[in-house]
Amino acid sequence: MYDYRVLLVGENCIAPLKSLPCKTLSVNSGQAALEQLTSFQADIIVYDLGLSDLSAQDFLEQICSRPHAPAIILTTATPDITEAVQLIKAGALEYLSRPLDTASLQKLNDQLLARSAGRDNVITQAPESQHLYQVAEQVARSEATALITGESGTGKEVLAGFIHRHSSRRAQTMVAINCAAIPENLLESELFGYAKGAFTGAHTARPGKFEQANQSTLFLDEIGELPLHLQAKLLRVLQEREVERIGSQRSVKLDIRIIAATNQNLEELVKQGKFREDLYYRLNVFPLRCLPLRERCGDILPLADYFLQASGSQKSLSSDAQQSLRDYSWPGNVRELENTIQRALVISQQPQIQGQDLMLPQSLSRQAFTPETDISESLEEHCRKAEYRHIISVLNQQQGKREQTARVLGITTRTLRNKLSEMRRSGINPSEQSSEQPLTSSVLNSL
């Protein structure tokens, strides 16, 4: 789990809690804590009730009135049940007696981890993931436009939400729009809004996503699907920091941060004339890449455990199930892993989920490829073939029904359609291909 910030207030809190698995800052008074909160975005405050400059009641009132207030844990050497009830009613998360024994420290650590999981929903045990989120936290403190790239299902929207929640705009809700999920004839009005009477049916004026995200963050998912004429309008918004509704002559000034994401190669789209070069450089101020799950294997089991817990199930993973999860290549990434766990929960009839309950195709196991094959083909080719095999396998299982196939894969129908078109351009006809047949088109062999 990603590190959280804890503000330790009072000498009696500092020494025993400095070893918490998080970022800590120590101060000696309640007033100093209030001052530090302007620059140190604490997630949890551990407060010593022995401080004399501010009563616990006053401190709680000043903290709890803030938007997205940190949780407050109170510690005291003279515990009192009546006082504990009053302060917890006033907003404290925990009331612990000192000295903190092993059980109390474990309880405090569990509270920190539980709050971390509930607020950020970010699993980052692999070193590669931890590095990505450390960089993202630095990006969050700036106002820089960020471009998140990565395959479908790698957690691009999760990363965008993390950046927003750790930014100065976190008091406002992040606004998100998927540029591939909205028909092209509706996308312009969704983004830019429209004035009353702008077109037939426009009986009232309506703000678009840009205006809705004023003072906040706008997340533009699948930006590579944005039509060229709307790319020009987006570029103007980024340059001028103002938006004009359809049918209006009045511009609305914007204070907005843009985060865009794509599973496509925008540089290649620029070369093909499908994406504006000037817009690409406007968006790519700070590039971030979400790695596919096969490149951050340390996250696989923690994510699987998280999905199990989120389902409310008491089941666990057997050792052979864990090995199967580690061995699989995960072309559908985190979305596919979540779907796999949900399916296994339905199938499993035992307290522990077994490897066979996962129903993972053996052809996509890393061990299914011989060393000779691995040597002769590039990693990109290897992963592309694995992805194609998996799509064909699921397509066959779903009897060619694209909506059901996309749902099982954890992708949009539009993304699936693009993948199928990509296969055909490579000389592969998905409707005639078995998942067990070798993929040997000239395009694949030239990767």
CATH number of residue 305's parent domain: 1.10.8.60
**pLDDT (0 to 100) of residue 14:** 61
**pLDDT (0 to 100) of residue 381:** 65
**pLDDT (0 to 100) of residue 107:** 59
Residue where a domain stops, chosen among 228, 260, 289: 289
Backbone φ/ψ region at 328: left (φ over 0), alpha (ψ -120 to 50), beta: beta
Comparing C-alpha atoms, which of 382, 401, 391 is closest to residue 428? 391
CA 61 – CA 326 distance, rounded (Å): 48
The band of 148, judged by pLDDT with boundaries at 50, 70 and 90, is very high
pLDDT tens-digit map of 29-46 = 889 998 888 777 777 888
Look at 142 and 278; give whichever has higher pLDDT: 278
**pLDDT (0 to 100) of residue 277:** 95
Specify whether 19 is located in the same domain as 167: no
DSSP assignment of 304-368, as one string? HHHHHHHTT---EE-HHHHHHHHHB--TTHHHHHHHHHHHHHHH--SSEE-GGGG---GGGBGGG
Domain with 231 in it: what CATH number? 3.40.50.300
The band of 120, judged by pLDDT with boundaries at 50, 70 and 90, is low
Instruction: Tokens for 180, please give them.
Output: 């591939």
pLDDT tens-digit map of 335-385 = 899 999 999 998 888 989 999 999 888 755 555 444 444 444 455 566 677
Q: What average pLDDT does range 137-143 have in this prediction?
A: 88
Contact 248, 197 (CB under 8 A): no
In this structure, is residue 432 part of a structural domain?
no
In this structure, is residue 441 part of a structural domain?
no
Domain with 100 in it: what CATH number? 3.40.50.2300
403 burial level (CB within 10 Å; 0-12, 13-18, 19+): exposed
**pLDDT (0 to 100) of residue 109:** 60
The band of 431, judged by pLDDT with boundaries at 50, 70 and 90, is low
Other residues' Cβ atoms within 10 Å of the Cβ of residue 317: 23
Specify whether 265 is located in the same domain as 188: yes
Continuous segment of H or E residues that includes residue 270: helix 266-271
Q: What average pLDDT does range 59-70 have in this prediction?
A: 75
Q: What average pLDDT does range 181-206 have in this prediction?
A: 86
**pLDDT (0 to 100) of residue 373:** 40
**pLDDT (0 to 100) of residue 224:** 94
Specify whether 141 is located in the same domain as 256: yes
Specify whether 179 is located in the same domain as 318: no
Q: Does position 60 have pLDDT exceeding 60, yes or no? A: yes
Look at 144 and 113; give whichever has higher pLDDT: 144
Backbone angles phi, psi at 438, to 5 degrees: -70, 140
Look at 88 and 109; give whichever has higher pLDDT: 88
In this structure, is residue 434 part of a structural domain?
no
In this structure, is residue 436 part of a structural domain?
no
In which domain, by residue range, is 386 found?
379-426
Look at 176 and 17; give whichever has higher pLDDT: 176
Instruction: Tokens for 52, please give them.
Output: 């004399």
CA 398 – CA 407 distance, rounded (Å): 10
Beta strands in 206-298 (DSSP E): 206-207, 217-221, 242-244, 251-253, 257-262, 286-289
- CA 109 and chain centroid, separation: 23
Q: Does position 117 have pLDDT exceeding 60, yes or no? A: no
Residue where a domain stops, chosen among 289, 308, 335: 289
Specify whether 320 is located in the same domain as 273: no
pLDDT tens-digit map of 270-292 = 999 999 999 999 999 999 999 99
pTM over 0.75: no
Specify whether 83 is located in the same domain as 158: no
Continuous segment of H or E residues that includes residue 81: helix 81-89
The band of 15, judged by pLDDT with boundaries at 50, 70 and 90, is low
Specify whether 282 is located in the same domain as 152: yes
Q: Does position 119 have pLDDT exceeding 50, yes or no? A: no
Specify whether 141 is located in the same domain as 274: yes
- Encode 116-125: b = buried (16+ Cβ within 10 Å), e = exposed: bbeebebbbe
Specify whether 42 is located in the same domain as 162: no
Residue where a domain stops, chosen among 49, 84, 118: 118
In this structure, is residue 399 part of a structural domain?
yes
**pLDDT (0 to 100) of residue 400:** 84
Lowest pLDDT segment from 44-48, 218-222, 304-308, 407-411: 407-411
In this structure, is residue 433 part of a structural domain?
no
Give the chain's mean pLDDT.
82
Specify whether 109 is located in the same domain as 146: no
Lowest pLDDT segment from 175-189, 213-227, 256-270: 175-189
Specify whether 265 is located in the same domain as 210: yes
CA 28 – CA 434 distance, rounded (Å): 68
44 by DSSP, 3-state: which? strand
Domain with 399 in it: what CATH number? 1.10.10
Specify whether 263 is located in the same domain as 137: yes
Other residues' Cβ atoms within 10 Å of the Cβ of residue 82: 7
Q: How many domains does the chain have?
A: 4
Instruction: Tokens for 326, please give them.
Output: 């580690």
In this structure, is residue 435 part of a structural domain?
no
